[in-house]
Amino acid sequence: MTSSHPPDATLADAGEFGAIAAFTALFAQSSAVVVGPGDDAAVVRVPGDVLVSTDVLVEGRHFRRDWATAEDVGRRAAAQSLSDLNAMGGTTTAVTVGLVAPADLPLSWAQGLAAGLAEECDLVGSSVVGGDLTRGDVLVVSVTAIGHAGGAPVLRSGARPGDVVALVGRQGWAAAGLAVLSRGFRSPRAVVEAYRRPEVPYDAGPEALLAGATAMVDVSDGLLADLGHVARASGVVVDLTSAALPVAEPLQAVGAATGTDPLTFVLAGGDDHPLTATFPSASAVPDGWTVIGSVSEPGPDAEAGTVTVDGSAYDGEQGWRHF
């Protein structure tokens, strides 16, 4: 990464506009961008209804610089918002970024963050078109994604009794990586890398929309927690089949090393950003998705909004809680 600033330059050394110029030089603009960075607002062409989502990462709460590179943090920050639009069956056209940073933050780190943002956005053909930079005591990255769906967006509220529940993408890997890093280790490498950089199934959201998904959600806070949103919005009960849940070998290895049931990583782990969706029947589920449960009417044993495992309430961790 080339720069006109010294290698040890900080944001204070570069100044606000010098730093912004260093970032925006990394952001290629797609043909959908009419006016990119540099004006009061960007201008982008988005067909149909506009989808918008914002996510925030706070240092010490969502990431640590000694656990991940600046590029990793940029990839994770972008993935959070890009995945939200994916979960509506949409694609992202443009992204804006807000960065709050201490004055002594190395400019090279901030440029690495920008590079990671650009790399993740490039996976879906979107562009970083602007944002804001301000000084603060805590490092904060806020990403807003703007896009559209190729049809009526898939909401959380459409699941119906008789639907099947399916999952696509890795789930539980980032949680296993966090468990490893929290204990001061760096292996298995596969789960550590999964924590640092999620592999989001970006093609799966539009695919699910076209296949007739009735409800869908991005799994960012845990499978139980996020399916709980679907169950409550739809007024149904979701039951997961534990034997159908994918518990990969690296998760089993971390579970054995930490004394943790590896199924907990899958049920309660966040930050992988797979999608889980409901479909009218198993035959409607696209290739590459795994059927992991079913949707039913509320009853005396399970009220509306409940997520059960093998027909019973799960008494382990439920997922990430922000407060």
Q: pLDDT by residue (tens digit) across 86-105? A: 999 999 999 999 999 999 99
Binding residues: 40, 53-55, 62, 84, 131-132, 156, 218, 220-221, 271, 320
Task: Tell me which of 106, 126, 149 is where a domain ends.
Answer: 149
Q: Taking Cα atoms as reference points, which of 9, 140, 149 lies closest to residue 90?
A: 149
Query: What pLDDT is stored for residue 321 in this prediction?
Result: 67
Same domain, 244 and 176: yes
Instruction: Tell me if 3 is assigned to some domain.
Output: no
Same domain, 164 and 232: yes
- The CATH number of the domain where 265 resides is what? 3.90.650.10
Query: What pLDDT is stored for residue 323 in this prediction?
Result: 58
Instruction: Tell me if 251 is assigned to some domain.
Output: yes
Binding residues for ATP: 131-132, 156, 220
Range of the domain at 107: 11-149
- The CATH number of the domain where 67 resides is what? 3.30.1330.10
Write down the pTM of the prediction: 0.90
Task: Tell me which of 149, 173, 190 is where a domain ends.
Answer: 149
Instruction: Tell me if 322 is assigned to some domain.
Output: no
Instruction: Tell me if 181 is assigned to some domain.
Output: yes
Give me the phi and psi of 207, to 5 degrees please. Answer: -65, -45
Instruction: Tell me if 320 is assigned to some domain.
Output: no
Same domain, 48 and 169: no
Same domain, 304 and 165: yes
- How many Cβ atoms from other residues are within 10 Å of residue 283's Cβ? 7
Structural domain count, the chain: 2
Dist CA 244 CA 290 (whole Å): 8
Same domain, 187 and 228: yes
Instruction: Tell me if 315 is assigned to some domain.
Output: no
What is the residue-level pLDDT of the chain in tens, covering all 323 positions? Answer: 445 778 888 988 888 778 888 878 888 888 888 888 878 788 988 888 899 999 999 999 999 999 999 999 999 999 999 999 999 999 999 999 999 999 999 999 999 999 999 999 999 999 999 999 999 999 999 999 999 999 999 999 999 999 999 999 999 999 999 999 999 998 899 999 999 999 999 999 999 999 999 999 999 999 999 999 999 999 999 999 999 999 999 999 999 999 999 999 999 999 999 999 999 999 999 999 999 999 999 998 889 999 999 999 988 777 766 55
Binding residues for substrate: 62, 271, 320
Same domain, 239 and 305: yes
Helix, strand, coil percentages for the chain (3-state, nearest 5): 35, 25, 40
Question: 241 burial class (0-12, 13-18, 19+ CB within 10 angstroms)?
Answer: middle
Binding residues for Mg(2+): 40, 53-55, 84, 132, 218, 221
Same domain, 145 and 35: yes
Mean pLDDT rounded to a whole number for the chain: 93
Query: What pLDDT is stored for residue 6 in this prediction?
Result: 80
Same domain, 17 and 119: yes
Dist CA 29 CA 16 (whole Å): 22
Task: Tell me which of 149, 167, 190 is where a domain ends.
Answer: 149
Same domain, 65 and 191: no
Query: What pLDDT is stored for residue 1 in this prediction?
Result: 44
